[in-house]
Homo-oligomer: A and B are copies of this chain.
């Protein structure tokens, strides 16, 4: 792991443990055996560090999921892929989603915009897939914005209750969400 990655990983670890506000840069420096001045070689401010942590996290999980999903031809297969990978990788793998979602208010507007655009890309892909399925009569007619958020919400809430040490159950979890969702929207 290069120095930069090491810094982001340590910062994320401490943000998860104590929260962004309660984690001074001096503690991050201490734990890495660096000086604070040295840390500033890698970012301009604590806010910029939080942004890099967010961005790295999204690239690893959400964006990877979206890039693969985009290439899936069939709209239902695409949604199955999104539910499964978003749940297993973005939400159930570790506690980072909590930091990434809760601390977004600390980012300045231009950084928040970049992070929010990735979330928007996720939402749009879910909604567009639902529109496609409805147009071809494979699901019933419903409010697609509400249905898209129902799907995203069901999966996202995982971050609040799932025990990350129980990775052997994540497949059953994403299967349950896929099952409820597609029965839920299918024509009877």
Q: Which A residues contact B (CB, under 8 angstroms)?
A: 19, 21, 101-102, 105, 142-143, 146-147, 149-150, 152-158, 160-161, 172-173, 176-177, 179-181, 183-186, 188
**How far is the CB of A138 from the nearest CB of chain B, in Å?**
14
User: Is the beta-carbon distance between A150 and B154 smaller than 8 angstroms?
Assistant: yes
16 contacts between A and B (CB under 8 A): A21-B21, A102-B102, A143-B172, A153-B154, A153-B155, A153-B156, A153-B158, A154-B154, A157-B157, A180-B181, A180-B184, A183-B183, A183-B184, A183-B185, A183-B186, A183-B188
Q: Which residue of B lies closest to A101 (CB)?
A: B160
Distance of A157 Cα from B146 Cα, bound (Å) = 11
**How far is the CB of A188 from the nearest CB of chain B, in Å?**
7
User: Is the beta-carbon distance between A142 and B185 smaller than 8 angstroms?
Assistant: no
Distance of A183 Cα from B185 Cα, bound (Å) = 7
